[in-house]
Copies of this chain bind each other. A is one copy, B any other.
Amino acid sequence: MGLTRLASRACVKCSSEHPRGTRCLEQGPGMCNSLARKLKNLGVGQSEQVNEFVQLVKRKRRIRHGEDIVKIGRPERVLTVLLRGVACRYKTMENGRRQIFTVQYPGDFCDYHRHFLPQRDVAVAALTDCVIGVILRDEVEEIAARHPQISLALWRNTMLEVSIFRERLLSVVHRPALERIASLLCEHIVRLEAIGIDDDIIPLTQIALADATGLSAVHVNRTIQDLREVGALSKRSHGLQVVSRDELLRIAKFDARYLDMRQMSSD
């Protein structure tokens, strides 16, 4: 998954920091695979349109674990795409607590939520070392105007987000901690699979899990231990390793339909 942190240092060629032994960002072809897959999932059928969109990614940047990809404040006129790593959209409350709204994986748009709305209090942070691609917003608008399918795909993406939010709201209000955490883990298993990552490690810390589920870190810890006890997660500390996917699905009463884009506009 490439989620482990590696020593980084400034590269002579591309003048940006990246892990030793990896190529410069500029030279990395295929880095936008995840973006292409995302667009296809959103219903952009023609490869030419997908490619045209991918070509818009001209600038790439590495972000170190823990740093902000998108800061609060005045929005820039760019659209940021996560190409590698894990990030989260979050807001820090007055009392210092953090709410994670969504966790983002390669292919996800980081800051399109600010495309029209004045939500300047929401930031995006890198949960692991990340690589992002930057697209000028004007170019997005231009290509969307030319290709209705791309415009539609962006709308679909927003709808999917509504869907995920709705599920999160249900979870927070109606489900007790065990079911709630199991639900979130299930969502992540499915989403990781959807982008071709078939690992049994969920790349989240217990603290991130707490901020995402609205539980305290202490209670998340105790609940994780319950999930280990029943054999859903591995007993090893530090890290979330799924042992029994079925057990998790059962506990969460998980129904993945709210994530399913294939059924879109097929009624």
Contact = CB atoms under 8 A, between A and B. Distances in A.
Interface of A: 74-75, 77, 91, 93-95, 97, 99, 101, 113-119, 122, 145, 148, 151, 154-156, 158-163, 165-166, 168-170, 172-174, 214, 253, 257-258, 260, 263-267
Copies of this chain present in the complex amount to 2
A93 B266 CA distance: 26
A162 B172 contact: no
A158 B165 contact: no
Contact of A162 (B77, B156, B161): B161
B74 A116 contact: no
4 nearest A-B residue pairs (beta carbon):
A173-B214, A118-B263, A165-B165, A116-B264
B160 A260 contact: no
Contact of A169 (B114, B165, B257, B260): B165
A95 B264 CA distance: 28
A160 B117 contact: yes
A74 B267 contact: yes
Nearest to A112: B159
B170 A169 contact: no
Contacts of A115: 159, 265
